[in-house]
C-alpha cells in the first residue's frame, strides 16, 4: 500500500471513530422526517401517500436502504451517515489524485473529512446533503474521464450520477450544469463538429433524465405522482422565492459566522487554491473544472437563499479540493527554494485539517449528548421529543394514530405510531404562500376524521415560524379542538441545562415556567 493510501485509511478510521462515539445523538427534524417516511417505505407505503413535504423521494429511498441494513434506530441512521461520508471522502481523494496526484488527494480528503465533522455545519446529522454528495462526486470523476477519452458512454454515466443527486434533493441537480458547461467548452476547444457536440450533450442529458423518469414511473404506479408533483415542484417553486435580498444576506452571514470559527484555515487555503490555476502548470489543466465546481457548489448552496447550515456541506468538496491544490502547488514552489518545501506544505494541510476538530473538541469529545444538542440546536426540543415519544410508545396501542401539532416528525419515528395527518411540518401552513389556507383546512379535516388518541402540541416558535401575516384558521380551530383531550405529559424547557418532565396526574395541573414547552394530550374517554 502506498503512503497516500495509508494516509487515506488513517483519515477514514479517525473520522469513523469520532462518528461512532456519537451514534446515539437524537435525531433532529429533517432526520426524523426521512426516517419516518423511510420506515413507511420499508412497510410498503410509498412516499407522499401518508406524509408530505417538498423533499425529493430519493432521500426517502436512501433512508429505507439505511434502515433496512442497519436497523430502524438512531444508531442505524448515523451508521448510514458514516458510510456515506466515508464514500464521499474516498471520492474526494480520487478527484484530487486525478487533478494533481495522490498527495493532493490525501490533503483534500483529510480536509473534507474534518470539515464535515463540524457540528455547526450540522455535519453530525444525516442530512440529504451528505447523501447526494457521493453521486455528485462520482459524476465529476466520470465526467473528467469522459472528457479525456471522449466517451459518450461515460458521459451518460456521469449524467446518471447527477440525475441521481437531483432525485435525492433538488439542489443536487445544479451540479449537472457544470457537466454541460465543460462538455461544451471541450467541444469548442477541440473544434468538434456540431453533430459531435450534440451527441455528447445528448448522452449527458439522457443519462441525467433516467433517474427522474424512473422516479416518476415508480410514483405513478404507486398512485402518488400528483401529490409528489405538487409538493416538490408546485409548492416548492413558491417556497423558493419567499426570501428577500435583505433576508438572504442576513441568512448568509448568520450561517457563515459560526462555520468560519472552525474552518477559516480551509477558507484561506481555498482562496489560494483559486489562484493556482493561473500560476501552477499542473493544476492549470483542471482549472476550469475547479472554478466551475466552485461556482455550481455555491449556486447549489444558495438555492432559495435560505443558507441553512447544512447547505454549506455542498461547498465542502470543492473547498477541500482547492485547498489541496494550493498545498500541492505551494509544495512545488517552495521545493524549488528548499528541499523541505513539500514538508512545509504538508504541515499546512495538517494544521488546516486538525483545526476544525480542535476548535470543536469540547463539543465532539467532552460534551454530554444534552450539551451537544443545546450547542447545535439551542433550546429546540430535540432531546425532549425522544422522551415524549417513549411515553407515547409505552401507552398507545400499536394501531393508535397520533398527531404532532408542530414540526417534530421524529416523534412519529421514535413512537412507531402512524400519523393522523400527512402534514408532518407546520412550516408550509404558516408561510405567506397561496396554498397555506387550504393546507390548514385540509389538516383540520384530517384530524377531525382520524380522531387521534394522542396529540402532541409544540409550543416553540422554531417549530412553527409563524409571522404576523400567517393565516390564523388553524390556531382558532385548535383552541376548541383540544378541549376533547386531557394533558398527560409536558416537557418544560426551563433553560439550556434543565428540562422538567411531568407525566399523567403530575402533568394535568402543572404550570410551565418557560415559554418553550411540549405537551402530550390524550383523548378523553379513550
Contact 109, 11 (CB under 8 A): yes
| Domain identity same for 294 and 167 | yes
Per-residue confidence (pLDDT) for residue 255, from 0 to 100: 92
Answer whether residue 471 shows pLDDT above 90: yes
| Domain identity same for 305 and 410 | no
Answer whether residue 522 shows pLDDT above 70: yes
Contact 86, 16 (CB under 8 A): yes
> Containing domain of residue 142, as a range?
7-365
The total of structural domains in the chain comes to 2
| Domain identity same for 13 and 44 | yes
Sheet with 499-503, strands from edge to edge, namely: 402-405, 454-459, 517-523, 485-493, 499-503
β pairing state of 402-405 and 454-459? parallel
Measuring CA to CA, which residue among 339, 297, 365 is closest to residue 137?
Answer: 297
| Domain identity same for 329 and 305 | yes
Measuring CA to CA, which residue among 271, 268, 329 is closest to residue 101?
Answer: 329
Q: Would residue 2 count as lying in a domain?
A: no
Q: Would residue 1 count as lying in a domain?
A: no
Q: Report the 10 Å Cβ neighbour count for 60.
A: 26
Question: Could you give the CA distance from residue 473 to residue 442 in angstroms, rounded to a whole number?
Answer: 11
Contact 85, 12 (CB under 8 A): no
| Domain identity same for 309 and 432 | no
Q: Would residue 169 count as lying in a domain?
A: yes
Average pLDDT over residues 415-432: 96
Per-residue confidence (pLDDT) for residue 346, from 0 to 100: 84
| Domain identity same for 361 and 422 | no
Per-residue confidence (pLDDT) for residue 192, from 0 to 100: 86
| Domain identity same for 47 and 138 | yes
| Domain identity same for 16 and 54 | yes
Question: Could you give the CA distance from residue 423 to residue 32 in angstroms, rounded to a whole number?
Answer: 14
0.75 cut: is pTM over it?
A: yes
| Domain identity same for 51 and 188 | yes
Average pLDDT over residues 45-55: 96
Per-residue confidence (pLDDT) for residue 418, from 0 to 100: 94
Residues in contact with 46: Cβ distance below 8 Å, sequence separation at least 6, in sequence order: 218, 219, 222, 223, 224
- For 402, the grid coordinates are 397520533
Contacts made by residues 141-144, CB under 8 angstroms, sequence distance 24+: 141/91, 141/94, 141/95, 141/98, 143/178, 143/179, 143/182, 144/95, 144/98, 144/286, 144/289
Question: Could you give the CA distance from residue 80 to residue 98 in angstroms, rounded to a whole number?
Answer: 27
pLDDT classification of 450: cutoffs 50, 70, 90: very high
Measuring CA to CA, which residue among 151, 129, 26, 24 is closest to residue 84?
Answer: 129
Q: Residue 65: beta bridge partners?
A: none
Question: Could you give the CA distance from residue 463 to residue 25 in angstroms, rounded to a whole number?
Answer: 20
Domain final residue, candidates 321, 337, 365: 365
Q: Would residue 373 count as lying in a domain?
A: no
| Domain identity same for 400 and 326 | no
- For 462, the grid coordinates are 422554531
Opening angle at CA 35, ends 32 and 37, nearest 5? 105
Q: Would residue 240 count as lying in a domain?
A: yes
Q: Report the 10 Å Cβ neighbour count for 251.
A: 18
Domain final residue, candidates 365, 387, 408: 365
| Domain identity same for 324 and 406 | no
**Location of C-alpha cell 499546512:** 348
- For 295, the grid coordinates are 461556482
The DSSP call for residue 432 is S
Contact 310, 121 (CB under 8 A): yes
Contact 17, 193 (CB under 8 A): no
Q: Would residue 20 count as lying in a domain?
A: yes
The overall average pLDDT reported for the chain is: 95
Contact 207, 179 (CB under 8 A): no
Per-residue confidence (pLDDT) for residue 338, from 0 to 100: 65
| Domain identity same for 435 and 321 | no
Answer whether residue 287 shows pLDDT above 90: yes
Q: Residue 503: beta bridge partners?
A: 489
pLDDT classification of 488: cutoffs 50, 70, 90: very high
Average pLDDT over residues 359-372: 94
Answer whether residue 1 shows pLDDT above 70: no
Q: Would residue 372 count as lying in a domain?
A: no
pLDDT classification of 336: cutoffs 50, 70, 90: confident
Domain final residue, candidates 365, 388, 404: 365
Answer whether residue 479 shows pLDDT above 90: no
Q: Would residue 116 count as lying in a domain?
A: yes
Answer whether residue 481 shows pLDDT above 80: yes
Amino acid at each position: 500500500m502506498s503512503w497516500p493510501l495509508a494516509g487515506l485509511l488513517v483519515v477514514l478510521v479517525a473520522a469513523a471513530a469520532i462518528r461512532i462515539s456519537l451514534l446515539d445523538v437524537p435525531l433532529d427534524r429533517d432526520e426524523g422526517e426521512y426516517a419516518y417516511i423511510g420506515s413507511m417505505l420499508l412497510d410498503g407505503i410509498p412516499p407522499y401517500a401518508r406524509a408530505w413535504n417538498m423533499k425529493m423521494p430519493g432521500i426517502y429511498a436512501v433512508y429505507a436502504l439505511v434502515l433496512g441494513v442497519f436497523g430502524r434506530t438512531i444508531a442505524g441512521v448515523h451508521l448510514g451517515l458514516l458510510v456515506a461520508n466515508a464514500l464521499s471522502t474516498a471520492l474526494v481523494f480520487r478527484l484530487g489524485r486525478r487533478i494533481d496526484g495522490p498527495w493532493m488527494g490525501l490533503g483534500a480528503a483529510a480536509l473534507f473529512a474534518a470539515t464535515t465533522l463540524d457540528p455547526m455545519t450540522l455535519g453530525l446529522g444525516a442530512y440529504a446533503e451528505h447523501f447526494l454528495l457521493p453521486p455528485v462526486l462520482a459524476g465529476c470523476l466520470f465526467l473528467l474521464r469522459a472528457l479525456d477519452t471522449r466517451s459518450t458512454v461515460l458521459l451518460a454515466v456521469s449524467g446518471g450520477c447527477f440525475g441521481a443527486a437531483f432525485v435525492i434533493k433538488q439542489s443536487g441537480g445544479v451540479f449537472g450544469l457544470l457537466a454541460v458547461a465543460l462538455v461544451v467548452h471541450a467541444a469548442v476547444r477541440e473544434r468538434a463538429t456540431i453533430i459531435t457536440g450534440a451527441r455528447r450533450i445528448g448522452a449527458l442529458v439522457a443519462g441525467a433524465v433516467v433517474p427522474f423518469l424512473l422516479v416518476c414511473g415508480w410514483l405513478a404506479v404507486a398512485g402518488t405522482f400528483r401529490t409528489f408533483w405538487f409538493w416538490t415542484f408546485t409548492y416548492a417553486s413558491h417556497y423558493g422565492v419567499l426570501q428577500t435580498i435583505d433576508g438572504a444576506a442576513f441568512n448568509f452571514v448568520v450561517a457563515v459566522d459560526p462555520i468560519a470559527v472552525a474552518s477559516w484555515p480551509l477558507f484561506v487555503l481555498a482562496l489560494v487554491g483559486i489562484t493556482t490555476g493561473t500560476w501552477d502548470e499542473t493544476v492549470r489543466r483542471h482549472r476550469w473544472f475547479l472554478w466551475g465546481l466552485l461556482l455550481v457548489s455555491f449556486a447549489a448552496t444558495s438555492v432559495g437563499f435560505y443558507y441553512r447550515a447544512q447547505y454549506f456541506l455542498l461547498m465542502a468538496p470543492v473547498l477541500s479540493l482547492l485547498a489541496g491544490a494550493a498545498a500541492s502547488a505551494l509544495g512545488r514552489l517552495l521545493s524549488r527554494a528548499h528541499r523541505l518545501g513539500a514538508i512545509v506544505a504538508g504541515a499546512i494541510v495538517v494544521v488546516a485539517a486538525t483545526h476544525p476538530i480542535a476548535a470543536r473538541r469540547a463539543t465532539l469529545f467532552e460534551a454530554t449528548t444534552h450539551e451537544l444538542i443545546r450547542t447545535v440546536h439551542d433550546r429546540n426540543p430535540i432531546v425532549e421529543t425522544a422522551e415524549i415519544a417513549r411515553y407515547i410508545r409505552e401507552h398507545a396501542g400499536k394501531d393508535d394514530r397520533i398527531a404532532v401539532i408542530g414540526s417534530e416528525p421524529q416523534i412519529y419515528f421514535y413512537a412507531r405510531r402512524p400519523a393522523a395527518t400527512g402534514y408532518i411540518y407546520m412550516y408550509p401552513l404558516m408561510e405567506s404562500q397561496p396554498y397555506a389556507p387550504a393546507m390548514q383546512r385540509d389538516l383540520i379535516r384530517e384530524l377531525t376524521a382520524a380522531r387521534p388518541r394522542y396529540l402532541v402540541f409544540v409550543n416553540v416558535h422554531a417549530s412553527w415560524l409563524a409571522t404576523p401575516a400567517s393565516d390564523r384558521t388553524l390556531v382558532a380551530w385548535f383552541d376548541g379542538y383540544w378541549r376533547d383531550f386531557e394533558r398527560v405529559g409536558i416537557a418544560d424547557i426551563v433553560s439550556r441545562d434543565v428540562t422538567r418532565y411531568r407525566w399523567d396526574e403530575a402533568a394535568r395541573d402543572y404550570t410551565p415556567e418557560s415559554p418553550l414547552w411540549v405537551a402530550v394530550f390524550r383523548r378523553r374517554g379513550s
